[in-house]
Amino acid sequence: MTRPVVNIRADIRKYEKMAKHCIFIFFVGFSVSLFVLNFGWFYTSEYGSYTISNSKEYTLKYGSGCPLIKQFAGRTGNQMFMFASAFAIAKKNKMTLHVSTKFPLRRIFRLKWIEYRPTDILNKMVVNNVSDNGESATFHLDLMTINMCNTQLSGYLQSWRYFSTYTSEIKAQFQFQASIANQAQDYIKEVMKIHNAFITVGVHVRRYKLDRPGAKTKGYRTPPVEYYHNAIDHFTNLYHNLNIAFIICTDDYYWVAQNLNRSDVTLCNTHNPAALDLAILSQCNASIMSIGSFGWWAAYLSEGPVVYYGGNPIPGSDNDQSMVRGDYFLPHWTSMLE
């Protein structure tokens, strides 16, 4: 038996082939890196690495990667105004709204089409600030155009005019989390059964404490009891042949129990979380507002006819001067006094 002679020629051909493969693989890798660097899929900066590019996939998912940054203050109703307006402004400018990962409305609504970032990163991203300058219930047309990525938008932005062309998107954003929506639905069904009612009218009774410091100069005026009776009569007349259940959610249970003690009225459980009250009121067929942005949103989301209190704020007060009534109340809503 003889060992086969090593075929040097064949070995050389083998190594040549392998080298060609290596060069090819290297070349492909190099080209891909160049492509990525040029078109930018991933952007790394001192804020950590995040996508900010024009990559097609990113654009399809979020719109443009150009961030509009919004921080939030106040309670649920305030935050809803800030979110709705900022989202609409971002959309109009083909930007992506960036909010804090701690944004409380996430727990209430099934929010979409936005980006979450830790607050410290959001703060570092800001290169430009724009604001409504404290005139929160006045529409500022100039805020609809944002000229720069990474602009921080400030203010309470309490005007429906910011999002009037994106109504369906805003309604889609404010879809309640399923557990809240179901609880509200069950409650309304129960109330309708007890009252043998075909129609529900949601009533928000917010009793702003007028002895609170500064309340008078600011110009808050809590609706008197006559306003609620008149508004209830208004809907009783409007739906004259149907049984109506008036569902009152309030921050002043004892005042309502004493002053609006009527057989057609049901009071929401005082231990309800605010989100559940909002879901209940927004599922009613019509709305009676008192004061404040919480009741505003309940009325807006319910989509039925709305009565609001026209006596707030007190004319000439601070709140009155920072407000354009037509920017705050919708044109088809009905104003009533006592």
Ligand X SMILES: *[C@@H]1O[C@H](CO)[C@@H](O)[C@H](O)[C@H]1NC(C)=O
Q: Tell me the per-residue interface mask from 145 to 184 with ligand X, x by CB under 6 A, - otherwise.
A: -------x--------------------------------
Please identify, using beta-carbon distances, which residue of 277 and 317 lies nearer to ligand X: 277
CB of 202 to ligand X, least distance (A): 10
Please identify, using beta-carbon distances, which residue of 147 and 261 lies nearer to ligand X: 261
Please identify, using beta-carbon distances, which residue of 130 and 231 lies nearer to ligand X: 130
The answer to whether 226 touches 232, Cβ cutoff 8 Å, is no
User: E strands of the chain, at which residues?
Assistant: 43-45, 48-50, 67-70, 96-100, 115-117, 128-131, 151-154, 199-205, 244-250, 265-267, 286-288, 306-309, 334-336
Among 93, 173, 283, 312, binds ligand X (CB under 6 A): 283
Interacting positions 196-255 with ligand X (CB under 6 A) = 198-199
Q: How far apart are the first and last CA of the chain?
A: 117
Per CB under 6 A, 285 contacts ligand X: yes
Per CB under 6 A, 52 contacts ligand X: no
Buried b (16+ CB within 10 A) or exposed e, 169-183: bbeebbebeeebbeb
Per CB under 6 A, 129 contacts ligand X: yes
Q: How far apart are CA 191 and CA 307, in angstroms?
A: 22
Interacting positions 254-273 with ligand X (CB under 6 A) = 257-258, 261
Per CB under 6 A, 100 contacts ligand X: no
Q: How far apart are CA 66 and CA 145, in angstroms?
A: 14
CB of 126 to ligand X, least distance (A): 5
Please identify, using beta-carbon distances, which residue of 23 and 126 lies nearer to ligand X: 126
Size of the site for ligand X (CB under 6 A): 13
Per CB under 6 A, 127 contacts ligand X: yes
**Residue (of 101, 126, 104) closest to 114 by Cα position:** 101
Please identify, using beta-carbon distances, which residue of 55 and 175 lies nearer to ligand X: 175
Helix then strand then coil, in percent of the chain rounded to 5, is 45, 15, 40
CB of 129 to ligand X, least distance (A): 4
Q: How many angstroms separate the Cα of 217 from the Cα of each of 91, 232, 321, 325?
A: 37, 30, 11, 18
Residues lying near ligand X in the complex (CB under 6 A) are found at: 126-129, 152, 188, 198-199, 257-258, 261, 283, 285
